[in-house]
Structure 1
Amino acid sequence: MLESKQIIKIDGKNVFLEVLNSAFEIGKVQINFFEYDISKDKGERIRNEISIYVSMDKFLVLSNDVLSGRISALATKARVEQQNGGYKYCKEIWTDLGGVSAELLKKRDKERADGKSLSRQMKLTPGDKLPWIFSAESGPGELIETGLIIPRYSGNKPEAVVRVPMTNDDLKRMVLIVKAHIEGYLVSQY
């Protein structure tokens, strides 16, 4: 069994994300997003924490798209659409939907008060101050017939959001190191 450890950590102001190898055995990349308040006592600083599980193959495609320049081209297009459409912010250019069904939450004794599924999303969006924003959202969701959990936020707002700004080099470092770890893990399985 693979010992769980942090692969990479990206810091922002009062936020960070960390990528772990703990879900490799189920074919997923675990990305934890944290928002914290430094003025609080140790052990009480975390304001929001969202764990996202992206399938390895989807993460490898994202890595390829970042390294090939496709993501940058999509960002340029999104910035043009933002300016032409009069939007305050760019729309996301990459999204991963996930979550936990209401049934599984109940089995784990983590049932939501509203009885709904837990929707979790990760998004990559062109930023304003820095080139990229990686964000995680969580809130109520609905399990549809395909097995996907789609968001059903009240008032169209998630219950929790953590946004981690990144430079171009941060994004490239992250995808390169995670890609190398995924490939190393996959090779070790043969």
Structure 2
Amino acid sequence: MSKNYERKSPEQIIRLDGKNVFLEVMNSAFEISKVLINFQEYDATKEKGNRVKQNISIYFDMDKFLVLGNDLLSGRLSALATKAKEEAFKLQTENKKKGVDRKVYAKEIYLDQGGTSSARLEQKGKSRPDGKSEARLMKITPGEKMPWMISAELGPGEESETGLIMPRFVNNRPEKQIRVPISNEDFKRLILIVTKHIEAFLASKYVNNEFKHKKEEPQLISQEESEDKPL
């Protein structure tokens, strides 16, 4: 994975680059307990200021990110990746016996669903032409040339009764999709550095007593008043 030496935003924790794509993790949503991950695809042949082809922003729950980090560092994700590759190979072998010679890719081993409801989009003046909600997905898939493929998808969605935005992609194809291949080392680097930033943010909250709720002092009743009250 190539390294990026361009001046970064003060809110950027880490950026990982692929060929004409990158993802960056920001601390700008920590206050709402989210980890913001921006995905971007660009055309390096264009002039600066006109290079962006598409971008997708994923707001990842902070607690979910910490669990994901534990799953990676404990080896759980690697075990799931190995199983997914074995299943893909098995299916490809079975297809060949049936005369279908087509590459079968491993399925994603991690999926995070989110998005914005149609009502919220309307409030922000960003309603979709079809009037639907906007679904955003982040997937982690075993890669082919690189160990991992982290991807973001965006398209039409529908709000469920519980408020979750369910994807309703036409022909199961998202309107936008950005894939960033990363190595094991870079994945661990991303997890470790972002986790440290989350821990520092939470620690600062405790230092500043921002988690301390003010309690109302109990009203004291004088001995005379208590004696006057009937039992």
Range class of TM-score, shorter chain = over 0.9
- In structure 1, the residue corresponding to 2:171 is in which secondary structure? helix
SS of 2:146's partner is: coil
| Residue in 2 that maps onto 1:99 | 115
1:179 maps to what in 2?
195
Q: Which runs of 5+ in 2 are unaligned?
A: 1-8, 93-102, 207-231
State the shift of 1:4 in Å.
5.8
Alignment partner of 1:15 is 2:21: yes
Deviation track 1:74-120 (CA, whole Å, cap 9, x = no partner) reads 00000001101126211000111000000000000000000000000
Equivalent residue runs for 1:65-144 within 5 Å: 65-86=71-92, 88-144=104-160
Letter in 2 for 1:178: V
1:41 corresponds in structure 2 to 47
Q: In structure 2, how many angstroms separate the alpha carbons of the residues matched to 1:163 and 1:102?
A: 26
In structure 2, distance between residues paired with 1:169 and 1:156 = 32
- The percentage of counterpart residues that share the same residue type is 60
Which amino acid is the alignment partner of residue 38 of structure 1?
A
Helix, strand or coil for the counterpart of 1:156?
Answer: coil
Superposed CA RMSD: 1.1
Partner secondary structure for residue 105 of structure 1:
helix
Match of 2:228 in 1: none
Higher strand share: 1
- Contact residue 102 and residue 117 of structure 1 kept, 8 A: yes
Offset of 1:187 from its aligned partner? 1.1
CA distance in 2, matches of 1:82, 1:183: 38
TM-score by length of 2: 0.80
Q: 38-47 or 129-138, which moves further after superposition?
A: 38-47
> Do 2:85 and 2:106's aligned partners in 1 also have CA atoms closer than 8 Å?
yes
Aligned residues: 188
Give 1 or 2 for the bigger CA radius of gyration: 2
Structure of higher RCO (CA pairs closer than 8 Å, 6+ residues apart): 1
Structure 1 runs (4+) greater than 3 angstroms displaced = none
How far has the Cα of 1:146 moved from its partner? 1.1
What is the alpha-carbon distance in structure 2 between the residues aligned to residue 150 and residue 36 of structure 1?
A: 28
Structure 2 counterpart of 1:78, which letter?
Answer: A
Q: Which amino acid aligns with 1:128?
A: E
Structure 1 residue runs without a partner (length 5+) = none
Q: Distance in 2 between matches of 1:183 and 1:70?
A: 22
8 Å CA contact 2:149–2:181 kept in 1: the answer is yes
SS of the equivalent of 1:155 reads coil
> Matched residues in 2 for 1:147 and 1:81: separation?
33
